[in-house]
Amino acid sequence: MVLFLFSCMNMEPMSADGVPPVVVEFLPCGDAVPPGTEISVLFSEPVSYGSYEDGLIVLLAADELNGAFLADIDKPPLSASRTDDQVKCASETDLEGRRIELKPIEDLEPGQTYVVVVSAAITDISGNLLVDEINYNENGQIIGANTHVIHEFRVAAGGIRMTEVMANPAGTESQGEYIEIANAGYRDVDLKNWRIDDTDGKEAGDRLGPCEYGSGVVLRAGAVALLVGTSFVAPDDMPVDTLLVCTDHATLTTRGLRNAGEEVLTLSDSVGEQIDRYGGWLDLSGREGCSAIRIDINAEDGPENWIVPDDKPCRSPGWLEGQE
């Protein structure tokens, strides 16, 4: 069995009777695809439109893909037991059958990796089976391996993530405490009336709004912001364009952040829905001026996903260098 993992490419299409079809383009590509995306598979020539309805082109979560599934899709039709493995899609065709489009019935899951699988049983109008690429032997005869083709992409993680907690700054704590957040999604987010809470949800938390010296409360997609108290003093190594969002206290929270850890922080949106959580995993009492930093902003909160850097600088206010 040949497993051919396809990347985004655009090859010159070919069309002639007796020439097998190949896949020349997949869309979307990358690891920050919007959840509402549509999937497009472009072939070098028209293929049978029944291909999708026969289960020859499918979309599924990457962890559902295995050798048994590939064996099934290459010997169609897929069994009824495979229905739950697939993402339910509507399908359309254009370019006289060269392009097959899959339209998921529901938005894809943020942060999930998906695969588009094109069966080796796909044929063109003349009945020629799909091959991985067109080659010619020394006699000028067309050769190519008949195989399924697989394309992988990842949906944007979405949402806001806490990425750094400065609980024990050097100097005056109310002037140096901050929580860094990142917008890991693909849309700008208005943080007005969001709340940060240090009681693990037992209280409503402290309301967020614009700082007097700030530039609003909208966090752009892919950007970072610092949640701070009104007496916060920006450190010299903070990028000048970093968005600052304030509580209405001099301190970041009513009581200030606990240096010793075990203080659970929750971030909630303007309607009270919890968006992210930091479990207070790290004791910073002996690391003045150092932050707890999230390793992977796409991974869930947990002790294995936070570190205190050993090397200086052991903080990164307003920038995500070194994070995945």
The domain that contains 45 carries what CATH number? 2.60.40.1220
- State how many domains the chain has: 2
Query: Given the structure tokens 């190519």, which residue do they identify?
Result: 144
6: pLDDT strictly greater than 50: yes
My answer on whether 213 and 274 are in the same domain is yes
User: What is the model's pTM?
Assistant: 0.63
Query: Which residue type does 119 have?
Result: S
Q: For residue 199, is it within any domain?
A: yes
Residue 83: C-alpha distances to residues 32, 60, 87, 89, 181 (Å): 27, 10, 8, 11, 39
Residue 3: C-alpha distances to residues 39, 79, 117, 120, 165 (Å): 21, 20, 10, 11, 44
Quick: pLDDT tens for 22-45.
999 999 998 878 888 999 999 999
What is the rounded average pLDDT for all residues in the chain?
A: 88
Name which of 72, 80, 102 is nearest 89 in CA terms. 102
Q: For residue 315, is it within any domain?
A: no
CA dist 300 and 103 (Å) reads 28
Q: For residue 179, is it within any domain?
A: yes
My answer on whether 139 and 26 are in the same domain is yes
Report the CATH number that the domain containing residue 298 is assigned in CATH: 2.60.40
Q: For residue 75, is it within any domain?
A: yes
Domain of 13 in residue numbering reads as 5-154
Q: For residue 316, is it within any domain?
A: no
Q: For residue 100, is it within any domain?
A: yes
Q: For residue 84, is it within any domain?
A: yes
Quick: pLDDT tens for 148-189.
999 999 888 778 999 999 999 999 999 999 999 999 887 889
pLDDT higher at 139 or 239: 239
Q: For residue 101, is it within any domain?
A: yes
113: pLDDT strictly greater than 80: yes
My answer on whether 90 and 189 are in the same domain is no
